[in-house]
Amino acid sequence: MNKPDLMPDPQAIATAWMSQISDPNQWQSWFRMMPDMDALPGAALLRDAGAGVRPDVLDTLKNDYIAEFGALWQEFLAGRTPQLKDKRFAAPAWTSNPVTAFNAAAYLLNAKFLIAMADAVDASAHQKQKIRFAVQQVVEAMSPANFLATNPEAQQKLIETKGESLTKGLANMLEDMRRGHISQSDEKAFEVGRNLATTEGQVVYENALFQLLQYKPQTPTVHQRPLLMVPPCINKYYILDLQPDNSLVRYAVEQGNTVFLVSWRNADQSLAQTGWDDYVEQGVIEALRVTQDISREDKLNTLGFCVGGTLLATALAVLAARGEQPAASVTLLTTFLDFSDTGVLSVFVDETQVKLREQTLARGGLMAGRDLASTFSSLRPNDLVWNYVQSNYLKGNEPPPFDLLYWNADSTNLPGPMFCWYLRNTYLENSLKVPGKLTVAGVPVDLGTIDAPVFVYASREDHIVPWQSAYGSTLVLNPGRRERNRFVLGASGHIAGVINSPAKKKRSYWLNDDATAPADAWLAGATEHPGSWWPEWAAFLAEHGGKDVKAPAKLGNAKYKPIEPAPGRYVKQKAE
């Protein structure tokens, strides 16, 4: 009897497998085996996905799968190692053994056709996106790299260390369970105020929502108009002030700006009733007024990052309705004003899910930072979840120090009413961009009434704020004078694209002076430039910063005296 006779028929295997995944009952069986799968967006749709694929499409998928599986099987029988074009299987241990190489290749093939089947489901675009998201979570969770029994790298290290890697991995897992999150960085390597958020300054004002930081000038003269920075309240402000060589705050100070910055409080039960109006009125508008008072300038350069930009634009529109125009310029970094396309985050937002949040949080409570962090990690599970499961738990490695990932794990809570207002009025109903549709702080909001030049930055690979959506701000702001709007597109993602210091000499950015064209036309006519976009922004601030004046010798003033050194207490508060 020759070797092929000992092997099962590959076509029979492929046909049986495809029959299983196209059977709605099998989908439901898989869901019963997977913990917490019902919590995934699209889970209910996915359970019935097999019944939603047209028979002709399903036949095509089956035939394609059988052909590709058969080719893979023949390679295995011939002793040829399949190519594994996936970084999870790049280590030599995966290809040194024909069985583990075949196992990985079969997984990739199965994953490919599961995703193809999800894409083939006859459903609306939104339903299909949710189905695909749920399938992707299952597919990536079931990778052979995630299990000790099927991960040859982890097995090899187990043998080499005589079991020590497994002992260390279990210890790492237990410690992460105690912390409540998977460690992505060596958390003992960093401390806010010691080697993060070290730009010199003072807290010059505080209320229940935020502390206002003023930074010490580092140049003999400064631009007449100060810069007020409004970071997102979903994360802590020090993403803008990590370490000296990648701090946007320090860079702005070094460029001759008097910089003020909002440090949001990590919400606790005392803020459980706080709403969006409070963040606008008692947060951003109050920060604008204090900055005006200390600087004795009516006009300020302003910057908002992510939801901080949404809050800033809302606040400026509220002030415009009251007859005030405090902004000499507005900078928006990876910010939504038009929520028509919210990318992959839309899988978490529909009427049912928003109503569920409103039932539990709209009248008071906290949206836990841990839940927010899990949501964002699920958008990139291989990079932000399973990569660390493999390294920390299966191999017993300690994660290396990485300031950005340390910040990413430093969660913040949000007040429930504020979070629910934000979900419904922006992500779900996209009402903020409609003139007069929303009333905030007692006045109708019209973003088109903000009278200031605008600098809009987006990141090309941003999966949280798609760059085309960020570009949409140029359509909403200055509607009659869009030539006042400037758009810059940077490489990389939501955070790494923003935090791209010129000192690093990394990545690139695109410029096109015509911000009146549609997004795709803008990109087609744009020119790519090497390095950081920060100097372009610094030039924009200088253009609208007024004349140069002597740098202030003291921080604060007689009314707003320094309270404590930066970074202040609020940023050090941990989520409950």
Q: What is the mean pLDDT of each run of 10 residues along the chain (576 residues)?
A: 41 49 43 41 47 76 86 88 92 93 92 87 84 87 92 94 93 89 91 97 98 98 98 96 97 98 97 97 98 98 98 98 98 97 90 93 92 86 91 94 93 96 97 98 98 98 96 95 95 96 94 92 96 98 97 96 98 90
Residue 242: strand, helix, or coil: coil
Contacts of 501 (CB under 8 A, 6+ apart): 245, 246, 247, 248, 251, 532, 534
Q: Contact 26/50 with Cβ under 8 angstroms?
A: yes
At residue 52, the pLDDT reads: 67
Contacts of 66 (CB under 8 A, 6+ apart): 11, 14, 15, 18
At residue 156, the pLDDT reads: 95
Rounded-to-integer distance, Cα 492 and Cα 335, Å? 15
Helices (H), 296-427: 307-321, 351-361, 369-378, 381, 387-388, 403-408, 416-422
Say how many Å lie between the first and final Cα of the chain, rounded.
67
Tell whether omega for the bond before 8 is within 30 degrees of 0, i.e. cis. no
DSSP run (H or E) holding 99: helix 98-120
* Domain boundaries defined on the chain: 3-146, 201-368+411-572
Q: Contact 119/60 with Cβ under 8 angstroms?
A: no
- Helix and strand counts by DSSP (H, E) for the chain: 24, 17
Nearest Cα neighbor of 87 from 295, 390, 471 is 390
Report which DSSP code applies to 573: P
Q: Contact 204/563 with Cβ under 8 angstroms?
A: yes
Axis-axis angle for helices 10-21, 24-33 (nearest 10): 80
Structure tokens given for 480 = 């009659």
Q: Contact 293/557 with Cβ under 8 angstroms?
A: yes
Q: Contact 129/346 with Cβ under 8 angstroms?
A: yes
* Residue 558 CB coordination number (10 Å): 7
Looking at domain 201-368+411-572, which of 1.10.390.10, 3.30.1330.40, 3.40.50.970, 3.40.50.1820 is its CATH number? 3.40.50.1820
Helices (H), 180-272: 248-254
Cα distances (angstroms) measured from residue 213 to each of 14, 142, 230, 570: 63, 46, 11, 11
At residue 438, the pLDDT reads: 98
Q: Contact 238/197 with Cβ under 8 angstroms?
A: yes
Rounded-to-integer distance, Cα 246 and Cα 398, Å? 24
Structure tokens given for 304 = 């908002």
At residue 12, the pLDDT reads: 56
Q: Catalytic site residues?
A: 306
Q: Contact 493/459 with Cβ under 8 angstroms?
A: yes
At residue 57, the pLDDT reads: 82
